[in-house]
Amino acid sequence: MTIKKRYKKSELIQFTINVLKKVGLNKLNSTTVAELIIRADERGVWSHGIVRLPVYVKRIEKRSAKINPSLKFKKITNNISHLSGDNGLGYIAASAGINKCVSLAKKNGIGLVAIKGSNHFGMAANYLEVAAKNKCMAWVFTNASKALPPHGAMAPFFGTSPFAFGCPTKNIKKPFILDMASSSVARGKLKFAAQNNIKIPFGYALDKFGKPTNDGAKAFEGIMLPFGGMKGAGLSWMMDIVAGIFTGANHSGKVKNAISDFSGASNVGHLMICLRTDLFQSHSSFIKKIEFGIKEVKKLKKAKGFKKIFHPGEPEFNNEIVNSKKGILLSIDTIKELEKLSIKYNVKSPFKI
Ligand SMILES: NC(=O)c1ccc[n+]([C@@H]2O[C@H](COP(=O)([O-])OP(=O)(O)OC[C@H]3O[C@@H](n4cnc5c(N)ncnc54)[C@H](O)[C@@H]3O)[C@@H](O)[C@H]2O)c1
């Protein structure tokens, strides 16, 4: 990443709130969206952080997403709820969805919230963190616009939809979070490689003629590949079934591209499942066993080239420690884009090139 400067989390959140308010989001919605966007940067998941703000703003401006949606929950059973996101930014529906899901799980042991009529919800870990803080294990699924080919196909059809699972550990700030795109690499990282002439590993993408490439620019204009061949391809298809078909959202290649298609609502779907950790034993027994597993894993002989073994979510926690002390790194390209937003909306900017 080409580094220009580090910024304080609070100044990035305030800038994001101010921009979102200028395009009409109310105080609650702008704060919710801003905090979730910047949380991704804080955890080092910069591909889903403030770099995406210009595109979210554009969706609002073009009216392909609603400014302040009217969310509607429909009770299906005591522990299942169906949420209509009213085409607001995905962060708004997903944030309300996970809070509902946790409260259903607290009352009934398990909660399920299906969401339709949403948009790109950013980093899935955001919602897992809420569940983990509330002593729940959770799965969070979303579908996404077409980017990956089904196994054996040469055309993108399903999304890079992340598989996301989380649960608490002893350290409430460091939950187990497995949050991974079904692509070999997040599209934002591919874009960055394209813009900066960075070589990528073979296997991440094909060029537009279907040949394997390690050239970032050729990969960006070609086809991204799922991780693990048919396994990642199968997961991204599964995500379209559980988060798209099942929830009543768009599916089968119909989710509009968040970045390039402003012709109408994306109608993204999400599915959230929360389970209380104390269903079959006490919460403290669950945590003890999680900690035991982590300790045992860390004692294992390390593979060549590895100094430490981490549990999923730990690398991002380590990023957070550095970023909260030193500030959040932004690339020159991102700073330039944000500076353009600050000029366009006359918002005070912390960015100086
Ligand atoms: N909303 C959407 O449509 C969408 C689509 C794609 C991706 N995303 C988001 O993109 C983000 C990035 O996804 P990604 O696949 O590039 O993530 P990644 O490859 O950086 O990490 C994937 C997982 O591996 C774990 N991990 C990384 N290094 C590890 C190590 N050394 N040891 C043990 N575990 C390790 C991480 O904690 C994480 O859980 C995610 O937050 C995802 O939700 C969102």
Q: How far apart are CA 215 and CA 31, in angstroms?
A: 39
CA distances from 105 to 114, 134, 272, 273, 278 (A): 14, 10, 11, 9, 11
Running DSSP on this structure, what letter comes out for residue 116? E
Place of tokens 């080239």: 305
203 C-alpha vs ligand 1 centroid, how far in Å? 17
Residue 3 has what pLDDT? 58
The answer to whether residues 242 and 271 touch, using CB atoms and an 8 Å cutoff, is: yes
Supply the pLDDT for residue 353: 64
Using only the alpha carbons of the chain, give its radius of gyration. 20
| CB of 147 closer than 6 angstroms to any ligand 1 atom | no
CA distance 110 to 38: 29
CA of 272 to the centre of ligand 1 (A): 18
Helix, strand and coil percent figures for the chain, each rounded to 5? 40, 20, 40
Assign 111 to helix, strand or coil. strand
Q: By C-alpha distance, which of 259, 32, 21, 289 is closest to 137?
A: 289
- Whether the CB of 52 sits within 6 Å of ligand 1: no
Phi then psi dihedrals of residue 272, to 5 deg: -125, 135
Neighbours of 259 (CB within 10 A): 16
Q: Where in the chain is the domain with CATH 3.30.60.50?
A: 184-225
Which segments of the chain belong to CATH 3.30.1370.60? 3-183+226-278+329-344
Collapse the DSSP code of 106 into the 3-class scheme (helix H, G, I; strand E, B; otherwise coil) and give the result: helix
* Fold of the domain built from segment(s) 3-183+226-278+329-344: Ribosomal Protein S8; Chain: A, domain 1 (3.30.1370)
- DSSP codes joined into one string, 237-265: HHHIIIIIITTTS--TT-SPPTTT--SS-
Query: Among all chains, which residue has been given the structure tokens 């910069």?
Result: 46
pLDDT of 189: 80
Q: Is 318 in the pocket of ligand 1 (CB under 6 A)?
A: no
Q: Look up the pTM and report it.
A: 0.96
Tokens of 159: 């999304």
Q: Is the CB of 128 under 6 A from ligand 1?
A: no
Q: Which helix (DSSP H) or strand (DSSP E) does residue 231 occupy?
A: helix 230-239
Given the candidates 3.30.60.50, 3.30.365.10, 3.30.230.10, 3.40.190.10, the CATH classification of the domain at 184-225 is 3.30.60.50
Block means of pLDDT (10 residues each) for the chain, length 353 residues?
Answer: 81 98 98 98 96 97 97 98 98 98 98 98 98 98 96 94 97 97 86 86 91 91 93 98 98 94 97 98 98 98 97 98 96 92 94 73
CA 8–ligand 1 middle distance (angstroms): 23
- Strand 80-84 to strand 110-118: parallel, antiparallel, or no bridges (unpaired)? parallel
Residue of the CA atom closest to atom 5 of ligand 1? 161
How far apart are alpha carbons 107 and 99 in whole angstroms?
13
pLDDT at 92: 98
Ligand 1 and 181: CB distance under 6 A: yes
Give the pLDDT confidence score for residue 191 in this predicted structure: 82
Pick from 41, 48, 240 the residue to mutate for probing ligand 1's pocket: most ligand atoms within 8 Å of its CB.
Answer: 48
pLDDT at 336 (0 to 100): 93
What does the pLDDT read at residue 187?
A: 78
144 lines ligand 1 (CB under 6 A): yes
Distance 45 CA to ligand 1 centre (A): 8
Six-digit token pair at 258? Answer: 């968040």
Cβ of 48 below 6 Å from ligand 1: yes
